[in-house]
């Protein structure tokens, strides 16, 4: 039978809440207090609320929760199939406006209905923003420009010269600059005649102006330059960027001759191979300037073709251009033709190749072969191959269909490639101290680009011919490597064995065969070879790779072929490859110089092995991880593995192989945390570890599960989010135990649940976040209560209460300091909801937890000008009203709450009412402190809130409580601060409730609640 505590003395252990009374101030200035009404009529002019609490005793109204639920439940309405349903497709009527260009015509509107689902937010207004449309309507020129711009963009998109499957030069630019660097000193020539470019006045004759410009150009040709020596690579790059900016500035200030001088000067730099390792990067930097110049010239001539009536379209014919534009275009070509030196003349003319469109339809097709032949005059094979690469680049931009010049460039290159072994090149390499294996890769960017241009949309018949011709004529590994780098991966993969045969037979000539196998491996990672050849391909490649002595050469090649192995073979072959990598990289700690490649190997392995039981059964996988000795790199690898596990491992696991391996990995991540670790990094590590913890499940073996959580707590004690997750996991484990036992714990399960509760009680104090601790105390107390651990639940709730005074005024939320009162308010409201069902302890008196909490709230230092304390008291009043009911609103199964323990005992209800009166006294006292001009708005809000609380929970048949509600109503609107709309709705609610059974007293109350309007 439930225990009855009515015989116990109901004294309160706390002095401040012992008698349940409080003194109210005796008087206030007129118009600032709560007034009682005289009779049923208007308000009295005197009679302030004074110090005796008995004036306003509390009486809770009796609640029938079942009847209230029934009255609030929505009525089920049968829905016919053809009726409206919110998830049915919506029929939208579209209105389109068509503008007719004829003079004097008006716009016509047509409406059409569409049964398809139309999103009104995604409709397009003929490509025009409505706001900009109105703005442009006032300016016809702006409207025409906007229409032209949109038309040009549309034409460009629809008639793109090369497709998205063609890799642009811009993608290769960064890689070249990063790969081809030097520590040697560089030199650059700067011309000194910049100021002379400003000669001439606006009044000079045209013939004199032309003569002056020619003289300036000749002056530059004759050598008004200075040479800057001993520049570092960065200084050199800065000088080139300055020249690029000078070109733009000169052009903007209409100094076209100066701009041309800069371009000629930069082009001359491409004939200099004194620091040969830097040449590919120099080529990239200089051609950027040439591209800028070509674009400026083209746009200048293009703008000259426009007149007041029309703008030249992007795809125009020479007939559309006017004589002025053609003359200017020819003038540029004549100026460039007068450049004496071959290399600058070639590069500058190639940069404006597109301008031939203004002169004739066949201008480009005639110019490309001539420029191709011009390159034959360049003696240095390295300089000539980059010149051919530049010509192929500009050719692909303007005429990708002209394949003949591309092929001609390729075959010319094959003829000149033999010069590499000539005395001139060999002597140059000796002088600069460069060996052939270092020299040959300098050709790769240019050759790869030429091959890419040739192979783009080339017929399948042409490709093998070019490939065979390259190998027969050149017979070098470098050419074969460029073929494999440029052609489509599918083409290479289907002919893998043919390429392996060519690799074996080709002359290395300073270009190692392992680099050829690396290029082949890159293609096989993108496309699959025939299934019958896969194992033979791997064996042939690995025979070469495993014989490499240099660790860097070995790892660069092995890293590529690991992906091929993972993609097409089992864990046995992968284990063999990993073992070979460990064997090669462990001596002399060679792995320390190859962390990026080793990381790529790990990423490729876990990308193909989503079954982690298979992955960790690979014998050499964990020893492979041991090579990551540098902590930062080791942590990154561990993060990569955990991210893959969380992403791909869908089912919970208890596999000991997986658990042991991932615990080791998570411990590595956790141990990397120190005082300097960033918060974002901590959050990331905690997220990964928590993802692992959530995936561990031992099924019904709850004791093993708890042991895992205990071990995890000891391993991950430095990451607070992980401890929080462990507490939640243990609470969930306790609730799962309750679910399995259907609430009827045996001796064994009861002891287990108490162990879970003890785990949480021990762990929570180690957390730093104050609200994290408060919420976990509350959550864990609820779990303890649900499992009938009453004394443990009391301990949690007492701990939470004792923690409230420690809540600071400001707390850190996402790096920003914010007031804590709103968070404390939220927590206390949740706490009150739980306290309703917590049974009293036999040794601590009636409502001991509520009293203790009220003491803490009373002593807490609240913010000035804050009403949070009173809002909390209002919530306490709601709690106490709920506790006075014969049957509570909700219960916990197999836990007797106070409604069962006290059984509606009169002494319990009296003690409850005294506590209510004390809370009411605190609220009324606070209302009186708000009787100042600057606080009248707050007084109105608090007063109306208190009125609503009494209306919802108080028994208004009690005359004194009824009178108090009337006084609060008048106080809320006395000074014109009330929200009239809210008060109207409140009064309507009272009148509606008065029509319910046993609510007749609300009719009289409604008559005593007038609405005042502001005047």
Residue environment code for 525-537, b if the CB has 16+ CB neighbours within 10 A, otherwise e: beebbeeebbeeb
Q: Are 1011 and 984 a contacting pair, CB within 8 Å?
A: yes
Name residues of the chain where pLDDT drops below 70.
Answer: 1-55, 79-163, 189-229, 306-315, 459-475, 508-509, 1013-1015
Q: What is the pLDDT of residue 318?
A: 72
Q: Please report whether residue 916 resides in a domain.
A: yes
**Cα–Cα dist 808/380, whole Å:** 77
Q: What is the pLDDT of residue 904?
A: 81
Tokens 């900009």 sit on residue = 132
662 and 557 co-located in one domain: yes
Q: What is the pLDDT of residue 213?
A: 54
Q: Specify the DSSP class assigned to residue 476.
A: B
Sign of CA dihedral 972, 973, 975, 981: positive
**Cα–Cα dist 127/151, whole Å:** 10
**Cα–Cα dist 991/285, whole Å:** 84
Q: Give the range of the structural domain holding residue 522, as residue numbers without chain letter.
A: 462-540
Report field, pTM of the whole predicted structure over 0.85: no
Q: What is the pLDDT of residue 36?
A: 37
377 and 511 co-located in one domain: no
573 and 515 co-located in one domain: no
DSSP 616-665: HHSTTHHHHHTT--SHHHHHHHHHHHHHHHHHH--S-B--HHHHHHHHHH
Domain count, the chain: 4
Three-state DSSP state, 313: coil
Tokens of 888: 């509570």
Q: What is the pLDDT of residue 933?
A: 81
CA gyration radius, the chain: 43
Tokens 């020619």 sit on residue = 214
Last residue of a domain, one of 540, 567, 593: 540
How big is the CA angle at 980 (ends 976 and 982), to the nearest 5 degrees? 130
Q: What is the pLDDT of residue 719?
A: 95
Tokens 């008004």 sit on residue = 224
582 and 626 co-located in one domain: yes
Determine the distance from the C-alpha atom of residue 742 to the mean position of all C-alpha atoms in its chain, rounded to a whole number: 44
Last residue of a domain, one of 489, 508, 540: 540
506 and 565 co-located in one domain: no
448 and 582 co-located in one domain: no
Last residue of a domain, one of 540, 555, 570: 540
Q: Are 718 and 673 a contacting pair, CB within 8 Å?
A: yes
SS (H, E, C) 867-906: CHHHHHHHHHHHHHHHHCCCCCCCCCCCCCCHHHHHCCCH
Of the candidates 503, 486, 493, which has an alpha carbon nearest to the alpha carbon of residue 568? 493
Tokens of 751: 């002891």
Q: What is the pLDDT of residue 411?
A: 85
488 and 407 co-located in one domain: no
553 and 623 co-located in one domain: yes
**Cα–Cα dist 930/916, whole Å:** 22
Q: What is the pLDDT of residue 507?
A: 72
pLDDT tens per residue, range 539-575: 999 999 999 999 999 999 999 999 999 999 999 999 9
Count the neighbouring beta carbons within 10 Å of the beta carbon of residue 279: 23
**Cα–Cα dist 540/520, whole Å:** 12
- Cα 268 to Cα 280, 283, 296: the distances in Å are 15, 11, 20
**Cα–Cα dist 271/419, whole Å:** 17
Q: Please report whether residue 752 resides in a domain.
A: no
**Cα–Cα dist 867/967, whole Å:** 20
479 and 535 co-located in one domain: yes
Q: How far apart are the first and last CA of the chain?
A: 64
Q: Please report whether residue 624 resides in a domain.
A: yes
DSSP 436-491: HHHHGGGGHHHHHHHHHHHHTT--TTHHHHHHHHHHHHT-BHHHHHHHHHHS-HHH
Q: Please report whether residue 298 resides in a domain.
A: no
420 and 520 co-located in one domain: no
**Cα–Cα dist 443/381, whole Å:** 9
Of the candidates 213, 388, 368, 426, which has an alpha carbon nearest to the alpha carbon of residue 287? 388
Tokens 């709730």 sit on residue = 797
633 and 561 co-located in one domain: yes
426 and 370 co-located in one domain: yes
């Amino acid at each position: 039978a439930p225990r009855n505590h009515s015989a116990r003395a109901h004294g309160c252990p706390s002095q401040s809440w012992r008698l349940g009374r409080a003194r109210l101030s005796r008087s206030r200035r007129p118009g600032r207090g709560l007034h009682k009404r005289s009779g049923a009529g208007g308000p009295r002019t005197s009679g302030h609320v004074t110090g005796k609490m008995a004036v306003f005793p509390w009486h809770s109204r009796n609640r029938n929760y079942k009847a209230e639920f029934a009255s609030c439940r929505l009525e089920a309405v049968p829905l016919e199939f053809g009726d409206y349903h919110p998830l049915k497709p919506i029929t939208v009527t579209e209105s389109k406006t068509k503008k007719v260009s004829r003079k004097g015509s008006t716009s016509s509107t047509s409406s059409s209905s569409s049964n398809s689902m139309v999103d009104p937010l995604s409709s397009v207004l003929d490509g025009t923003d409505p706001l900009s449309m109105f703005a442009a309507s006032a300016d016809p020129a702006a409207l025409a420009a906007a229409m032209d711009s949109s038309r040009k963009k549309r034409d460009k998109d629809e008639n793109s010269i090369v497709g998205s499957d063609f890799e642009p030069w811009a993608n290769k630019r960064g890689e070249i600059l990063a790969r081809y660097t030097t520590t040697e000193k560089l030199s650059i020539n700067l011309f000194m005649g910049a100021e002379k470019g400003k000669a001439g006045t606006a009044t000079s004759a045209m013939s004199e102006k032309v003569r002056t410009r020619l003289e300036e150009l000749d002056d530059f040709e004759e050598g008004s330059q200075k040479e800057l020596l001993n520049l570092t690579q960065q200084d050199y790059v800065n000088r080139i960027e300055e020249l690029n900016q000078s070109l733009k500035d000169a052009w903007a200030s209409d100094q076209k001759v100066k701009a041309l001088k800069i371009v000629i000067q930069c082009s001359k730099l491409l004939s200099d191979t004194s620091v040969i390792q830097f040449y590919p990067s120099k080529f990239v930097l200089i051609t950027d300037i040439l591209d800028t110049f070509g674009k400026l010239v083209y746009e200048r001539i293009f703008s000259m073709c426009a007149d007041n009536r029309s703008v030249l379209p992007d795809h125009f014919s020479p007939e559309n251009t006017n004589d002025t534009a053609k003359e200017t275009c020819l003038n540029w070509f004549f100026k460039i033709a007068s450049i004496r030196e071959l290399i600058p003349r070639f590069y500058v003319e190639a940069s404006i190749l597109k301008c031939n469109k203004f002169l004739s339809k066949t201008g480009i097709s005639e110019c490309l072969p001539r420029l191709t032949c011009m390159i034959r005059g360049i003696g240095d094979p390295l300089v000539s191959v980059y010149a051919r690469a530049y010509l192929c680049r500009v050719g692909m931009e303007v005429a990708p269909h002209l394949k003949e010049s591309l092929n001609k460039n390729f075959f010319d290159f094959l003829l000149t490639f033999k010069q590499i072994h000539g005395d001139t090149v060999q002597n140059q390499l000796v002088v600069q101290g460069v060996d052939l294996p270092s020299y040959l890769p300098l050709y790769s960017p240019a050759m790869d680009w030429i091959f890419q241009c040739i192979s783009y949309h080339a017929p399948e018949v042409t490709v093998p011919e070019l490939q065979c011709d390259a190998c027969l004529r050149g017979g070098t590994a470098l050419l074969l490597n460029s073929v494999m780098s440029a052609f489509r991966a599918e083409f290479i993969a289907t002919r893998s064995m043919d390429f392996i045969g060519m690799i074996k037979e080709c002359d290395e000539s300073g270009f190692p065969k392992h680099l050829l196998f690396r290029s082949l491996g890159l293609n096989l990672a993108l496309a699959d070879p025939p299934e019958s050849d896969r194992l033979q391909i791997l064996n042939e490649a690995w025979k070469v790779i495993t014989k490499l002595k240099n660790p860097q050469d070995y790892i660069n090649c092995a890293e590529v072929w690991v992906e091929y192995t993972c993609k097409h073979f089992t864990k046995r072959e992968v284990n063999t490859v990993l073992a070979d990598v460990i064997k090669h990289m462990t001596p002399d700690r060679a792995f320390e110089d190859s962390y990026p490649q080793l990381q790529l190997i790990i990423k490729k392995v876990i990308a193909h092995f989503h079954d982690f039981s298979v992955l960790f059964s690979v014998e050499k996988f964990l020893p492979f991880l041991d090579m990551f000795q540098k902590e930062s790199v080791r942590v990154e690898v561990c993060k990569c593995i955990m991210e893959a596990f969380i992403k791909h491992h869908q089912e919970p696991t208890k596999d000991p192989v997986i658990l042991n391996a991932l615990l080791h990995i998570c411990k590595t991540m956790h141990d990397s945390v120190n005082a300097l670790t960033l918060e974002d990094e901590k959050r990331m590590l905690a997220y990964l570890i928590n993802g692992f913890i959530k995936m561990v499940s031992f099924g019904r073996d709850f004791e093993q599960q708890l042991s895992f959580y205990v071990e995890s707590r000891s391993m991950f004690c430095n990451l607070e989010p992980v401890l929080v997750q462990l507490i939640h996991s243990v609470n969930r484990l306790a609730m799962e135990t309750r679910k399995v036992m259907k609430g009827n714990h045996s001796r064994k399960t009861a002891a287990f649940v108490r162990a879970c509760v003890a785990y949480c009680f021990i762990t929570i104090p180690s957390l730093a976040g104050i609200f994290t601790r408060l919420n976990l105390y509350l959550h864990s107390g609820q779990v303890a209560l649900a499992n009938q651990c009453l004394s443990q639940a009391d301990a949690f709730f007492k701990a939470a209460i004792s923690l409230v005074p420690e809540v600071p005024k400001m707390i850190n939320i996402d790096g920003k300091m914010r007031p804590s009162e709103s968070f404390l308010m939220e927590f206390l409201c949740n706490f009150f909801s739980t306290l309703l069902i917590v049974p009293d302890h036999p040794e601590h008196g009636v409502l001991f937890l509520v009293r203790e909490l009220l003491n803490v709230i009373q002593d807490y230092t609240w913010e000035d000008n804050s009403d949070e304390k009173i809002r909390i008291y209002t919530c306490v009043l709601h709690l106490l009203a709920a506790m006075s009911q014969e049957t509570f609103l909700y219960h916990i199964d197999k836990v007797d709450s106070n409604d069962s323990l006290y059984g509606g005992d009169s002494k319990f209800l009296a003690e409850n009412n005294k506590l209510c009166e004390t809370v009411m006294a605190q609220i009324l006292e606070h209302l009186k402190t708000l009787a100042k001009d600057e606080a009248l708005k707050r007084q109105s809000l608090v007063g109306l809130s208190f009125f609503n609380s009494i209306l919802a929970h108080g028994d208004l048949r009690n005359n004194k409580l009824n009178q108090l509600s009337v006084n609060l109503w008048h106080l809320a609107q006395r000074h014109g601060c009330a929200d009239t709309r809210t008060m109207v709705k409140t009064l309507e609610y009272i009148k509606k409730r008065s029509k319910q059974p046993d609510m007749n007293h609300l009719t009289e109350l409604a008559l005593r609640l007038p609405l005042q309007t502001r005047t």
